[in-house]
Structure 1
């Protein structure tokens, strides 16, 4: 069967896809990490790892080691002081961070330790005077500084060509317009007849967000759609990309 390519112009296939997304009942973000340090660990350890079984326990165990018994809060909670500013994480060596997390690598083929990748992220942020979650949120509104930081993060091994890790990090910081169309999102789209890569998925989800916002009359963000697709995609069997 030929896999239909969905264009972002609002054709019938796009409307069908929008209805499928509505059926997922996308909802706003409910919780967030309290620290930029934890956002970085989440983004780095999410590379090729099961989120609930591996990533969340790694981040929570790390937070507990620093005395943070409640590393998450409701997403709509006021932003308080960052309980674990980056200098605390920057003071750790790779070996020490491995001991507090695990020995996973960014790739099974010559990838660096995720602990090293995380510390490289920290070094980039600290170099740009971004050491707290509040600093990172402020950075999102400064397009020139953001582009500089983003460019340096892109050079850290394990990033990949699609920028999924960086996009996910900015999502965790609080940018609901940036998404991470990873394999679960692409799997959900393919299940619905849409065979695209990460860039194509970004375009489609942005279009769907605008369309659903207009239809429902309340904001529907790309983050909400991405998360709903990702959650549903985890329940689907892996599919192979079909040839035209």
Structure 2
């Protein structure tokens, strides 16, 4: 007999960093079903993200020298589900959060079914955002746009401009959740990068801990999370604060809560 409770507990006990793309996808869909979420929109967003990022890898990955890029947005989605997020738009935007910035042409072609001749990065991003809006709705598109780094900061932007951008967008509760899960995943992976990247990114991310803490406190109930999810956010912030920019911090330690978030 299939024991759904046992299966759910087993999924929840696995740390995000231990999951490959297939297990992450299964765990996301299982958690969404358990939360009584309609899986259609989220599944479609995951499909678009997986295909858009299909040729991308994350160097110095957690499990391998290079991990398939899709593990990153899927970990972010599952982390939010473990926080208790049941907002389908937020979860879909989390799956898609890097697509406009990294793969706008793929997004356009996947969602429109037609190739694009645009070469200008700004036009490609605009067209990709419109395609996401047409498919997933304005709110999803607006959240993705909010967490997308401006073009001038996408490659080699300084930490101050990056911080200013983050602070300006996380006043919205949906954007906060997407960006915070992204922050935990990125900051939690710094240990696996080589020098001098590790030092540079540690210094870049460290000031944001207090910014996220302030925003989380201000937003409070507007995040629409259970107390356990708010507690997990606070715990992750405390753990990051204790380890950034120290060299010995990492996602192994960040993912130490009982739900392996």
Whether TM exceeds 0.5 here: the answer is no
Q: Which has the larger radius of gyration?
A: 1
TM-score by length of 1: 0.41
User: Of Structure 1 and Structure 2, which has the larger fraction of its residues in helix?
Assistant: 2
